[in-house]
Amino acid sequence: MKSVDVVSKAWTDTYEEIAAKAQLVRDVLEQRNVRLRSGSALSQLLSQADKLSLAWAEQVKPDDRVVWEAAFVNRLADAVTNLPDEPGIQEALKRMAGSVMQPDDRNTSQGKDALWELVLLSDLKSRGLAAKAAEPDILVDFGMGDYPIACKKIWSESGVEKRVSHAAKQLAPFNNGGVIALNLDDLVPVGKAVSVPTKELAKAVLTKFNLDFIERHRDVLQDAVMSGKCDGFFISTTAFAVLAEEETSAYLATQGSLWHLGDSSPESCERFLAFGHTQGM
């Protein structure tokens, strides 16, 4: 098992650039004929980037919520704008435009589900891999043909088994195994930032968060692998961090962990390890 960085780029852009990227998201939606209603949850979220940019220009301290949500806007914008011509994401964009997207809203959201798919797809493509939005959620080719990934947001500790079961059903039509990619962002306590001195320590906190989740639900994960329902799991958590010793204290940290069983079938291990290499394992 190894933890790897996946997407942790929230503040490598200036606040003005984040506002510009928020506008690019609006442009992409318009070009794809996806209606973004004024006052919708996504519209309100994107406007936080504009508020942060204005506060910075006027040298006014922004509200903490503005900073927090603008960091997530940057993540969302990177995913959407990296996939402007991706043919398979139209439905995902519609789900995002019509759903709750605020990071501290813990209601289940088809839009957040869709965003997790786009974030992972964008990351795979940025690594130079041939990946596309297709059933089950993503297909990626790293030299073994189209390899399926089923993406699931985890909304509660009590719902893990059901979400894994749904993902396994998505993978069932594929004969070459596949990965279940679980996103734990909505298990992070609302309004709680990771307060540590450095980026590396923030990532270490999230690594422990992922590994603790794996231990709590080991029976469910293990059963899915041993019964041949998947080759393994990719676990990812993103959280806002405040870094005391970094030049820029506000930071959006993401940490991913790969997990499988070494005593699963040789074919399953081979596929999962090949996938792991794409993630730097």
Q: Write out the DSSP string of 138-205.
A: EEEESSSSEEEEEEEE---GGGHHHHHHHHHHHHTT-SS--EEEEE-GGGSPTT--EEESSHHHHHHH
What would the two tokens of residue 118 be?
């786009």
Residue ranges making up the domain that contains 142: 2-278
Report the C-alpha gap between 111 and 103 in whole angstroms.
Answer: 11
DSSP 8-state secondary structure symbol assigned to residue 7: -
pLDDT tens sequence across 219-250: 999 999 999 999 999 999 999 999 999 887 88
Average of pLDDT values for 17-34?
A: 93
Report the C-alpha gap between 159 and 149 in whole angstroms.
Answer: 20
Q: Alpha carbon of 271 to those of 111, 168, 230, 247, 277: distances in Å?
A: 30, 16, 10, 41, 10
**What was the pLDDT predicted at 3?**
39
| Total domain count, the chain | 1
**220 against 276, higher pLDDT:** 220
**What was the pLDDT predicted at 150?**
98
Report the C-alpha gap between 234 and 3 in whole angstroms.
Answer: 10
Average of pLDDT values for 148-174?
A: 97
Q: Is it the case that residue 2 has pLDDT exceeding 80? A: no
pLDDT tens sequence across 33-47: 999 999 999 999 999
**CB-based contact 131:166 (threshold 8 Å):** no
**What was the pLDDT predicted at 4?**
36
**What was the pLDDT predicted at 9?**
41
What would the two tokens of residue 264 be?
């699963």
pLDDT tens sequence across 80-128: 999 988 999 999 999 999 999 999 999 999 999 999 999 999 999 999 9
Q: Is it the case that residue 254 has pLDDT exceeding 60? A: yes
pTM recorded for the entire structure: 0.92
73 closest CA partner among 250, 205, 244: 250
**What was the pLDDT predicted at 18?**
86
Helix (H) or strand (E) holding 279: none
* pLDDT class of 13 with cuts at 50, 70, 90: low
Mean pLDDT score of the chain: 90
Q: Which residue has the tokens 């606040």?
A: 15
Q: Is it the case that residue 281 has pLDDT exceeding 70? A: no
The neighbouring-strand residues paired with 196 are 243
Beta pairing class for 194-196 and 2-4: unpaired
The segment with the largest mean pLDDT, out of 13-22, 173-182, 189-198, 205-214, is 205-214
Average of pLDDT values for 39-58?
A: 89
Share of the chain above pLDDT 70, in %: 94
Share of the chain above pLDDT 90, in %: 73
**What was the pLDDT predicted at 169?**
97
Q: Is it the case that residue 190 has pLDDT exceeding 70? A: yes
**What was the pLDDT predicted at 6?**
33
Please tell me whether residue 206 adopts helix, strand or coil conformation.
Answer: helix
